Amino acid sequence: MTTTIVSEQEEERLYEELRRALEDVEEGEERQRVLKRMIRQLKFAKWQKERMRKFNTYCENVRPATLWIILGTGALTPVLLFSMFIWVSLWVE
């Protein structure tokens, strides 16, 4: 939703920055370095946008019961691990 808009704006900004950088830099090795760096940034932005799209579709389709299971598991995991630590330390003594 809003993250896709933000990622699209980021991609547009990168394209604009690439265009300006190529206008400012003269031909040669420096231009190739700038071009490679900007292409790498654009590929990362595209990859990030795709990953966020998958995450957003998952979050839109999650059921409340699944959400409660995830939250409960996350909340009880430290308690369970601490209890296991106590039991093991008592058993070792």
pLDDT tens column, 38-90 = 788 888 888 888 888 888 888 788 888 888 898 899 999 999 999 999 999 99
pLDDT of residue 10: 75
If phi over 0 gives left and psi between -120 and 50 gives alpha, with beta otherwise, what is residue 83? alpha
Q: Copy the structure tokens of residue 47.
A: 């990859």
Q: Is the pTM of this model over 0.75?
A: no
User: Cα(34)–Cα(68) distance, rounded to whole angstroms?
Assistant: 48
Closest CA to 2 of 69, 10, 90, 17: 10
Answer yes or no: are the C-beta atoms of 4 and 52 closer than 8 Å.
yes
If phi over 0 gives left and psi between -120 and 50 gives alpha, with beta otherwise, what is residue 55? alpha
